[in-house]
Amino acid sequence: MDKVIIKSTSEKGRGVYAVELIPEGVTIFEEQPLVSCQYSWNAAYGYLACEYCLRPLETAERNAQRLANNPCVMLPRTECCPVESNLANHTKCVRCGAMYCSTDCLQEAANRYHTAICLGSEIQNELHPVNVLVDFWKKMHYPPETCGIMLFVKIIGMFRQTADPPALQDQLQDFVHKSVNEDLLIFHKMLGEKFTHQIEQLYELFSKAFNFESDKRLSWLTLDRFKSLVALVGTNGQGIGTSSFGDWVKNVTESEMSEPERQAVDELIDDLYTKMDDVVGSFLNNEGSALYARQSKINHSCAPNAETVFPESNHMLALRATRDIQPGEEICISYLDECNLQRSRHSRQKTLKEYYLFICQCEKCESQINDPDETSEEEEDDDDDDNDMEESD
């Protein structure tokens, strides 16, 4: 039986609510996405992930060597790396070379969207309309990335291949919970003001790449509906991060070993993370985004009672309780990262209003309602950095 139901209220619209007591640490539900993709810059910089599910394709040792820029790195206990035992299952599309962690993922991709969008031998042709489209996107959306252009491309492929286009349209429409204009305002904030002027160019490139006018399955995708699709993906996309080195660290940390070996392993891990920070900073993971039908209905709280995790190191999402949740209680996650979550009420409200167009009335915000309207020191530092960058332009 499901632990949750989705229902609507006049104050918050749709939300997810517990139907039974859910203890802390319990997985509330798991969900496969409607569609997922790796970010374009992330892929371009050599982060190797399954084209379908984003599972890492590098071994932990090779991953550590690349991220630390040191080919001499050697990891002990390689059995703690899940990729090692799966290497023999890796496969690729014989036409374009797209890599997959298994024949199952290859087949799923081919059945759902890849057959319609595979570039075959044209994959390396920079002048191919799809490659021109991806390059245009990369120039308008530099890291850190918040949305992947291939998510749109795959959706186009799904419409070309599905046996029931209206049903797919209904699935996408179910994500919409604000007006297109509101969602576009949010997306513009995420991607920068230039995006406002570039969306029509993006539409023209998509239309050229996929022949919207001549393809009956895509003829519905007018400029306004394309804006709706962009807004939908931009505001409902859930970020995904996977890492073979991170999996190895978790597994080796949980392994039984002597105290001297434990100390040596801990020192190695600390040293590698220090070196990785020097080379790639915070960009440690294979990164991408996906659309999840159920997860997208979960509202925000600055005192969340649940979190989204990716326990299988692929795009399969799990919602996990971070404290006991009572029957009838709304299940909430944080739309803010840990750093922003620790800032003042004023700073949190400012960010949520700018990016998500709502005023948070969660228990944490209500308990701090009499706090002075002061901006966190960290945010002032960020604003100073932004001003410095603008002055240098």
Angle at 25 between CA 22 and CA 26, to 5 degrees: 50
E strand or H helix that includes residue 241 = strand 238-242
Q: Is residue 370 part of a domain?
A: no
Between CA 121 and CA 98 the distance in angstroms is: 11
Q: Is residue 47 part of a domain?
A: yes
Structural domain range at position 205? 35-239
Collect all residues with Cβ–Cβ distance below 8 Å to 333 and sequence separation of at least 6: 298, 300, 301, 304, 306, 307, 308, 319
Between CA 356 and CA 167 the distance in angstroms is: 28
* Average pLDDT, 10 consecutive residues per value, the chain (393 residues): 90 92 98 98 97 98 98 97 97 98 99 98 96 94 88 97 94 78 69 73 94 88 88 88 97 96 98 98 96 96 96 97 98 92 92 82 91 63 48 45
Q: Is residue 138 part of a domain?
A: yes
**Farthest-apart Cα atoms in the chain, separation:** 68
Q: How many domains does the chain have?
A: 1
Q: Is residue 201 part of a domain?
A: yes
Q: Is residue 215 part of a domain?
A: yes
Is the model's pTM score more than 0.75?
yes
pLDDT for 178 equals 63
Q: Is residue 99 part of a domain?
A: yes
Q: Is residue 258 part of a domain?
A: no
Q: Is residue 135 part of a domain?
A: yes
